[in-house]
Structures are given as structure tokens and as C-alpha cells.
Structure 1
């Protein structure tokens, strides 16, 4: 029973929800800007902050429970002969047979996730905090979640700082502000993590590269023959961002690779 709960991600999601709402409760109950606005009857700021927190939680569960782009065995098998006849095999690496799924043949940029035990299209990474893969279908929503989460965290930092009060001694100061300081520490750590994650992902999206490809390009069959600065999927920053955020479809990466790959492959 316990192992099943861990595998399903229940504890991770419950922990995220608990930390979020406990921190929010601390900010509302202590003498912060939120509390002072409530006492004056100015409810706009508290309501907006509450809605941002709710939106971040909803996006978290959406990304966590969404299909990241699992490769369907029957779909790949049915289209495999068509793909191989359409793409010249002299210049493009052959479709790879997954050593774990056995019956599947991976589309280009897909990778098998040993945690999810499935192959994922345009695999980026498996995120332990959402207990799900980040791939073709949920990657853009993962970045939107990070943006909203960062807004909520930075706002929470400002609110927590507004509640820190002065005292005559250090001991009394820690006693009075202890809970707020703990909330401030949690929010601060998560803010740094989210800033780093968001910055890295926006950079990789702008060059049309995934975390897996960036970290392991020397071991990936369709990239290891390319130069360090060469990316056959890069169409320029504007086109990369437009395709990533605005185009919702399954991309035939083999065709783009065939058009842009170096002759040495």
C-alpha cells in the first residue's frame, strides 16, 4: 500500500499542496500587508493573492496529471514503415527500438523514462516534484506553471517581509517573528529554485533543445556527430518560441532533422 502511494505520486502532490496552503495561511494570519488590508476592509489585494495561489495549485495538478506525450505502441508500429520509406535512411539515423518497451520504436527526440516506464515524445526530463515527465504535451504548461509559481512566490516574499516586526532583543525578535521567518525561508528557497528552472527552460526552448539533449548530446545518435554549437532543430529564437508556445501539434522531427542535419551524419 505504501509503495503504491509513492509510485502514484500521492505523497509528493499532497506535500506540495500542504506546504502551499500552510505558507498562505501563515501570511494571512500574521500582521502582514494582507492582514492589515483585511482589517481596513480593503479586500482586493488579499483576493488577488489568493487567486494567484489557487491558479498555481491548479496548474501544478494539471501539469502533474497530464499525459506528457507517451508514445502509443500501436500508433508507432502502424506508422513505422511509412516513416522509414518517407525519410532517407542514408542521412538520417534509423528509428531506435526501445530496449525497455521492446515492441516500440522511438520517434526522434523521444526517450524512455524508467520512472514512468513509458517512452515520451520530445522528452525533456522526469520532474520528481510533479512526479511526472515533462515532454511534448505538457512542457509549455510546465513553463506557464513556473511563471505563475514565481509570481506567487515573489509576492509571498514581499508579504512575509511586511510582517517582520522589530523587538528589543534578538531572542524576543526570533520569538515574535519565528513562524514568519520559517515561511520566509521556505518561500526564499523555492523562489531561487523556480528562478533557476525557469531561466534554464526558457533558454533551452529559445534554441529548441531539451534538457536531455543538452546534458547527453554526446550519447544521442542523432546529435553526437553535430558540433557543440550545432542544433539541427533550431529555427531561430522567434520561430522556436512561437512553435513551442503557440503551435499545438505532434511534430515530425525526422523531417526537420533531414532538412537541417550536417552531411556527415
Structure 2
């Protein structure tokens, strides 16, 4: 199961990763933000202007479908903006000083190579002391457990999940909750558009494809985004339930603090309710080293 999920993620991310490597990060971020807003606006405009669209009829009749869509899109874009522009949990010198009372750095043999690989396995020792910090070579300091150096942002991110080109920002401890909520509300809005687009077609038009060319393009976009949105919803809900990050799931076999656990199992799992609390309610940085050793 882990190999299948890992293979799907690597395949889906191959082209975006190649684009990210060749495009300036700020340019790429704004390109993706503009693309996101443009695709949403295009599909909404088409579904709203089609005469037989349930979305348009709902607006004319004052029923709940149109109002539900507007509310979902507003909330989705609020969370999108928060996820895009909020600090994802960058590790700072001030936080390192605050953490020093709880966890000390005694070993620098664990290495991170520019965020490309996870912690290297310590072959000379059978166990790993989780109170010891890994050293980030690009930043030159010892970082908390589950923090990874992002090559795109050029910073270390707490509870690093992944760098998302679609939002132009890292997804980490502080903004993962907003990323998760954005996916859900955006997906529900897409489902409404998909339902609306399905009932927009005329049956008695001679030049059918030409008449529906804009609607067909809208349906093509929705046919891609709707299953993708559903898959992301299910995947990230599973990540929360199992207390994993995307990075930890993909690199499980290469991360020392996970190697003693079976695939798809996390030592940070506190139960479903506690996992959701730590994801959505807890705001202060979490000392995973302390949690791990309890």
C-alpha cells in the first residue's frame, strides 16, 4: 500500500518538480496563484451563464445551491490566502533558544542535504536518541525533530509536509490546517460546479461541439480537478488520522526515527481526536522530541 501511494505521489509531482527547478520561486508562486484564481473564475462564469445551468437557475429562483457555492468559494479562498501567505512554521534562532530548555543539541552526525534527503541513518548505533537534534547544513544549526530544510524556500520548516507549488508556499506545522480546510471547501465548490455543468448541455443543437466549446473546456477542467480534490481530501485526512506528513510517508524507510516502526505507522500517533487537535487547534510549536520520548 505504501509503495502504491508513494509511486502515485512521485508520478503526480514529477512534472511540477521539474518546473519548480527551472522557474524562479517567486515567479512560479504568482503564476500558480493567478492560474488558480483564473480557473475558478472561468468555470464559475461558464456554469453561471449557461441557460440550463442549475447554478444560474438557483440564482434566479433564490434557492440554496447558488448561495452554498458562493459561501464555499469565499471560505475556500480565505483559507487559500492564509495557506499561501502565512508563515508555515519556519525555524528561527529565537525558537531555537526557547526550545533549548527542553531539548539540547549534542550530536551533529545526522545530516540533511539541502532538503533533498531525510535524515541519514546512523549505522554505528542501533538506537537513536531523540533528544539530540539533527543538523541542517544549509542553515548551520540544529533543528527540531520532524523539521526539514526546504530547498525552494531556503528555510527549515517545522513538521514539514511538502512544498506546494499550487499555493506558492511550504505546507508545515502552522499552515497545514488551512491547507487541509482549503482542499475541503474548494473540493465541495468544485463538486457543485461539476453537478451544474453536467446539466448545461442542449440536446437539439446541430453544431453541438462548437456550440458547447466553452462548456466542454469547463467540463474538462472539472473532470481533472474534481477527482484530484477528492483524492487530496481523503489522502490528507488519512495523514492526520495516522499522524504522518507526506514527506514522512514517502521517505519512511530513510528516516531513522521511523525505521523501527512498520510502514504507514507513526510514533507520533496520539489517537484520532488528539491528532486533529494538534493539527487544527494547537498553535504553539510542538516539541516532537518530548512527545516521542514519553
Stretch deviating more after TM superposition (107-116 or 21-30): 21-30
| Matched-pair contact (CA < 8 Å) for 2:80–2:178 | no
Root-mean-square deviation (Å): 2.4
| Matched-pair contact (CA < 8 Å) for 2:76–2:181 | no
| Matched-pair contact (CA < 8 Å) for 1:93–1:221 | no
Q: How does 1:171-250 map to 2 (within 5 A)?
A: 172-228=207-263, 230-250=265-285
User: 1:82 Cα shift?
Assistant: 4.7
Which TM-score applies when normalising by structure 2? 0.78
The whole-number CA distance in structure 1 between the counterparts of 2:283 and 2:97 is: 23
Change (3 A) 1:108 1:191: same
Q: Which runs of 5+ in 2 are unaligned?
A: 1-22, 106-126
User: 1:236 Cα shift?
Assistant: 2.0
Question: Which of residues 70, 77, 93 in structure 2 aligns to 1:73?
Answer: 93
Q: Which residue of 1 aligns with 2:197?
A: 160
Moved runs in structure 1, 4+ residues, more than 6 A? none
Q: Which has the larger radius of gyration?
A: 1
The whole-number CA distance in structure 1 between the counterparts of 2:201 and 2:94 is: 59
1:60 to 2:98 alignment: no
Q: Secondary structure of 1:233's partner?
A: coil
Question: Which of residues 41, 47, 70 in structure 2 aligns to 1:50?
Answer: 70
The whole-number CA distance in structure 2 between the counterparts of 1:199 and 1:229 is: 15
User: 1:237 Cα shift?
Assistant: 2.2
Q: Which runs of 5+ in 1 are unaligned?
A: 260-265
The whole-number CA distance in structure 1 between the counterparts of 2:61 and 2:276 is: 43
Change (3 A) 1:4 1:116: closer
Q: Which residue of 2 aligns with 1:150?
A: 187
| Matched-pair contact (CA < 8 Å) for 2:88–2:174 | yes
The whole-number CA distance in structure 2 between the counterparts of 1:123 and 1:231 is: 15
Change (3 A) 1:217 1:11: same
Question: Which of residues 115, 119, 133 in structure 1 aligns to 2:152?
Answer: 115
Question: Which of residues 133, 144, 147 in structure 2 aligns to 1:95?
Answer: 133
The whole-number CA distance in structure 2 between the counterparts of 1:250 and 1:43 is: 44
The whole-number CA distance in structure 2 between the counterparts of 1:62 and 1:140 is: 10
The whole-number CA distance in structure 1 between the counterparts of 2:211 and 2:258 is: 57
Q: Secondary structure of 1:205's partner?
A: helix
Which TM-score applies when normalising by structure 1? 0.86
Q: Which residue of 2 aligns with 1:262?
A: none
Per-residue CA deviation, residues 129-186 of structure 1 (Å, 9 max, x unaligned), is 11111110011111111110111000000111121111365xx221222211110110
Per-residue CA deviation, residues 213-243 of structure 1 (Å, 9 max, x unaligned), is 1111222132223333542211222322233
The whole-number CA distance in structure 1 between the counterparts of 2:42 and 2:264 is: 45
| Matched-pair contact (CA < 8 Å) for 1:33–1:162 | yes
User: 1:118 Cα shift?
Assistant: 0.5
The whole-number CA distance in structure 2 between the counterparts of 1:160 and 1:193 is: 17
Aligned pair count reads: 251
